Amino acid sequence: MGAGHSHPLHLPGTSPVHRLPAEVKIVAAFLGVVCVVLTPREAFAVFGGYLVVLAAVWAVARIPPGWMARRALIEAPFVVLAVLLPLTGPDPRVEWLGLSLSGPGLLGAWGILVKGTLGVLTSLTLAATTPLRDLLLGLQRLRAPAVVVTIATLMLRYADVIAAEARRMRLARLSRGHDPRFLWQVGATARGVGSLFVRSYERGERVHLAMLSRGWAGRMPLLSTERTTPRHWALGMAPVAVAAALVVTAWVTT
Amino acid sequence: MTTAVPTAVHVTAMHMSDGLVNAPTAAVFGLVAVVAVALAATRSRADLDDRTAPMAGLVTAFVFAVQMINFPILPGASGHLLGGALVAILVGPWVGTLCIAIVLVVQALLFADGGLTALGTNITNMAVVGVWVGYGVAVALRRVARRSRAGLLATAFVAAFLNTVVAALAFVVEYAVGGAGGASPGTVLVLMAGLHALIGIGEGVITAATVGAVASVRPDLIHLLRRGSTTSPTSPTGTASSAGAPARADEGSPA
């Protein structure tokens, strides 16, 4: 129950990637994924190139590839869509292990899976190397509206508290014999959600009063005075440049 | 087709991944999302002035925590609340849009849940379409909701059900516009509408029960039931007095 200073996907470290300002990493991750999305799905080898770029970043950030692989298995409901595409897609059909699969459907499924996976790996890299505080600082420096940054800050500070409260309520239900299996047995859980809202809201009222009494005037204090230099940007954009070169290669060759 | 969900699955609905729609489509909906969030940030001040941003923060934390609570659909299959209609009813559409959008941004940046380039489509579907459909339905039924507790629960159920289904249909539109797969929009429509009608029932039941639970303890907190609800301030001092809600305020708010 740490007070919101860490998050489950963070891998603390002091590598150059960890020390890079968050806004540089957010922009770099975003542009990298844009390159992946822009790549034609027929350019099979180029997707391997993106993986090599990511692996290089992991090597610099000292993130074990196994750590990444385990967390990349995030439940992806759109995998269902990707599985269905080859079965329901248009002709021509391809025979495979006795199944008649759609050629364009297979290509579509491949595209969704490979781009989705590279996207998840990129987001994981960002999450692994960026602590909460830096992320908020990054949002602030990327000119997100002040009210958004304030809400996000408080949300991240209190998400653990509220989640822990929800966990305790669940434990309390379970220890009183609550074992819901069907949707119509969901009443107790839902009433728990209701009281969780009331408790969260009332906690918000108390937090607001506490902040007022400590001089809150509607703006978060500046989270850091450190400056982001062009060198940081150059460093962060290096993998993006490689990704851009890859996407251009893909366009030229396919 | 909806039975293709294997056992012990967790139905995480509608967090689109990267590459599901092509880049121009993602860019257009990214723009829609930016405009919507900027507008919500401005307009939510009517419901929530700068000084009461902490409350919005805690409501957002609540949405975040609620999305971690699993509820059973059938043995082996569980889902979680999306909360669009719920926040629209509880805190109003502008603050609701802001809350859900911030949850989605944090999930994309810190939890790799939903692609970075799909953030625009995800915010459009869940924070804009979802919240506003839920709110629109709730406002249309406000007369019913004010009349009785059953009316309030029914309103919450219908709002949450339609919120889920229409948000899924928004995905189908995006897929039809710029889908990167090989399936016909018709197939995707049947799949998404069917799956999300099921999810929507769960969402509706939970939302109704949650709104009911809040109504019996702190009816004054329910934005939908406030008189002249869009201008009513959410100041911490004025909550107990600004009634305008059905007389069901049981004693005993949790300390």
pLDDT at position A69: 81
pLDDT digits (tens, 9 = 90+) for A227-245: 788 888 988 898 999 999 9
- Per the structure, the count of domains in chain B is 1
Which residues form the domain of B162? 17-225
Mean pLDDT (chain A) is 82
pLDDT at position B254: 41
DSSP A196-253: HHHHHHHHHHHHHHHHHHTT--SSPPPS--PPPPHHHHHHHHHHHHHHHHHHHHHHHH
Contact B214 A163 (CB under 8 A): no
Contact B20 A116 (CB under 8 A): yes
CA angle A80, A81, A83 (to 5 degrees): 65
pLDDT at position B22: 84
Q: Is the pLDDT of residue A209 over 50?
A: yes
In a domain, B251, yes or no: no
pLDDT at position B139: 93
Q: Is the pLDDT of residue B138 over 90?
A: yes
Instruction: Name the more confident of B19 and A148.
Output: A148
Contact A155 B106 (CB under 8 A): yes
Q: Lowest-confidence range among A99-108, A145-154, B218-227?
A: A99-108
Contact B19 A105 (CB under 8 A): no
The arithmetic mean of pLDDT across residues B119-132, rounded, is 92
Query: Who among B103, B115, B183 is closest to A89 (CB)?
Result: B183
pLDDT at position B250: 40
Contact A151 B19 (CB under 8 A): no
Contact A208 B37 (CB under 8 A): no
Q: In degrees rounded to 5, what are phi and psi of residue B141?
A: -100, 10
pLDDT digits (tens, 9 = 90+) for B176-207: 887 765 567 777 788 778 878 888 888 898 88
pLDDT band with cut points at 50, 70 and 90 for residue A78: low
Partners of residue B13 in chain A, C-beta under 8 Å: 77
Partners of residue B26 in chain A, C-beta under 8 Å: 37
Residue B99, domain CATH: 1.10.1760.20
- Give the separation between CA A222 and CA A155, rounded to whole angstroms: 17
In a domain, B246, yes or no: no
In a domain, B212, yes or no: yes
- Chain B residue closest in CA terms to A125: B112
- Give the separation between CA B217 and CA B158, rounded to whole angstroms: 22
B-facing residues of A in 111-150 (CB < 8 A) are 111-112, 114-116, 118-120, 122-124, 126-127, 130, 132, 135, 139, 145, 147-148, 150
Q: Is the pLDDT of residue B235 over 50?
A: no
CA angle A221, A227, A229 (to 5 degrees): 155
Q: Where are the domains of chain A?
A: 16-137+227-253, 145-213
Per mean pLDDT, which of A147-161, A175-189, A212-226 is the most reliable? A147-161
How many other β-carbons are positioned within 10 Å of the β-carbon of residue A222? 8
pLDDT at position A3: 44
Q: Lowest-confidence range among A239-243, B14-18, B97-101?
A: B14-18
What's the maximum distance between 2 C-alpha atoms anywhere in chain B?
Answer: 57
